[in-house]
Amino acid sequence: MNVFSYSRLKQYSDCPQSFFYKYVLEMEEPISEALALGKAVHAALERSLKAKQQDEPVDMSECVAAAVAEAPLPISFDEALRLCLNPAIRERTFCYGPAQIETRFDIPLDAAGKYTLQGTIDYAETGLADGSAYLLDWKTNRIKYSADSLQLRLYACAMAQLYGAERVLAQLVFLRYQSNSCAEEVVIEAPAMEEARRWACQTAEEIDGNIAAFQFFDGDAATLFPARPCASCQYCGYAFQCVQGMALQPAQIASQEQAEQMAGEVLRLDAATTAMKEALKGWVKSTKRPVCLPGGEFRFTTSTSWNFGSDGLQNLCTRLSNQGEDYWQYLSIGAAQLRKLDLEEGDLRIYAQRKQSEIFRFVRGREGASEGGETTSESHKKSKGPRPAEADAGAAA
């Protein structure tokens, strides 16, 4: 193996066993709805931006409809359209120089040309007067993270080789957020590009050596490609295979290392449980009969909810007010909606009282930090030995 993408390198760095299942054993990985949605949004944006580049009329609904029709599993047309209509796309494209849309690249990672990095840049503008370039990467993730990532550094490295860019203004554009808060940006210069290239080359060399040891010298797969339970387990399609035959240990923790090991197993088991539930759901749907167990059964039940448009919600509130009820007790703004509003704490204090509570949960890499000031992913990696991989949240897109 001598051709690598960023996602392939990162999968190995996150969990060598997951990489082994996908790229060595070539086991098919189920496509998640989030991944299918991300691909559809990228396809629709590619159609619309290329049409605009050619001064052709653009109907975003048609672009999205075509992309949704090509998706490998059913996804929401309305959700895809809403993401594609984010004003940031219009505001941040065709700004500085010649546009490059969904540009594929293949660049050497080493002087000898033994290893190659390939990928696709969502959107770029080149030939800027100061020798720099402009790079956008569309994200459909629900949680934002830093743009100072290995992925963008490698893409900047590609732009330096392809277009002679001396520095790159790179932005992650999170389409679920409004235009004033949707982008995370970073300026990437030659030293950061070189650091990312060295990481990619070293990781590719390690992968190549381990594959050769397994295929030609009967190396032990579990040793060469060990499981490394981590945040990526939550979205890994191989979690079920990973936990089969695993001996479960009693929930007794005597050290920080054991606590971290158990935390990783919790994520892996959660992911495996999700995969098994999906398999059960598919069976019940295809056979049209429940799976019965003593005391209950797995089956489909009906859940009813109502979606209120702005006019309908206003009319309902008016009706409740006319009946003498305080309709505000039924309305609330959750944490997700507050993030989209992008209000400062000082603004919120004008309208509401702050409420805090302690919640025990898993916080993804750059969403929060541990007591020592490191991200949770960095802390995990230190316990397992130094790894040059990053802790990007959500790679769906």
Reported as a single tens digit per residue, the pLDDT across 329-367 is 888 887 777 777 777 888 888 888 888 878 877 776 653
pLDDT tens digits, 52-107: 999 999 899 999 999 999 999 999 999 999 999 999 999 999 998 889 999 999 99
Measured at the CA of 336, the angle between CA 335 and CA 338, to 5 degrees, comes to 65
Q: Counting beta carbons within 10 angstroms of the beta carbon of residue 118, is it exposed (0 to 12), middle (13 to 18) or buried (19 or more)?
A: middle
Q: Which residue has the tokens 């969403």?
A: 367
pLDDT at 385: 38
Section 176-194 average pLDDT: 90
pLDDT at 248: 60
pLDDT at 279: 83
**In order of start, what are the domains of the chain with their CATH numbers?**
28-207 (3.90.320)
pLDDT tens digits, 239-297: 877 776 565 666 677 888 878 877 887 888 888 888 888 888 888 889 999 888 777 88
How high is the mean pLDDT of the chain? 84
Give the confidence band of 396 by pLDDT, cuts at 50, 70, 90. Answer: very low
Length of the chain: 397
pLDDT at 239: 80
pTM of the model: 0.70
Neighbour count for residue 230 (Cβ, 10 Å): 25
